[in-house]
Amino acid sequence: MTARFDAEYYRRFYEQRPVHTAGSVAHLATAVVHMAAWWGVRITSVLDVGAGPGLWRDWFRKHHPEVKYVSTDVSAYACERYGHEQRDIAAWAPRSPSDLVVCQGVLQYLDDAQAAAAIENLGRATRSLLYLEVPTQHDRTHVIDPASTDLECHWRTGAWYRQRLTRHFVQAGAGLWARHEGGVAFYELERGR
């Protein structure tokens, strides 16, 4: 699978017509950091799983250089070009958890067993908050732009992901998941289902 994420893949999905730009990730990262502050979560460490071109890392370096940031990717190409550690979240979990884990556009490329293992490892990797973006069957029909999205992936239901994620996390909405033991207390209507 790692050979799939080569220079051509990055040219097509990150350069020609990217789903995410540095500007859009800047808005997202700002929102995530501000929501963490709202909930009383101090972000001193971040693990970026599937860091791609390193847009989150670049934002943190510019706006929060004091944060310990670890960026990983399964792609040898991405690791060499963008300076990430080569890791496969389906088979690896860090020794110590990070305050924030970012996992954007990764789980849909894993088969069911790998995705379930990756969710378990994300649970181990997260101290407080997980930002997760993964397109579902519903998104394929109603949300994504097929011209700029890789459609060759595993399309699962949101319920499939929620069933596994809720073992470790409370869904806060907007892609944010709080670790059960992560110290975030939500009002009832702040939480997802």
CATH number for 2-183: choose from 1.10.240.10, 3.40.190.10, 3.40.50.150, 3.40.50.10210: 3.40.50.150
User: Per-residue pLDDT for 157 more than 60?
Assistant: yes
**Average pLDDT for residues 72-92, to the nearest whole number?**
96
Strands of the 68-73 sheet, one edge to the other: 85-86, 68-73, 45-49, 98-104, 126-133, 176-179, 169-173
Which amino acid is it at 143?
A: V
Least confident of 13-22, 91-100, 161-170, 176-185: 13-22
Q: What is the pLDDT of residues 6-35, one digit of tens each?
A: 777 767 766 666 678 999 999 999 999 999
List the domain boundaries for the chain.
Answer: 2-183
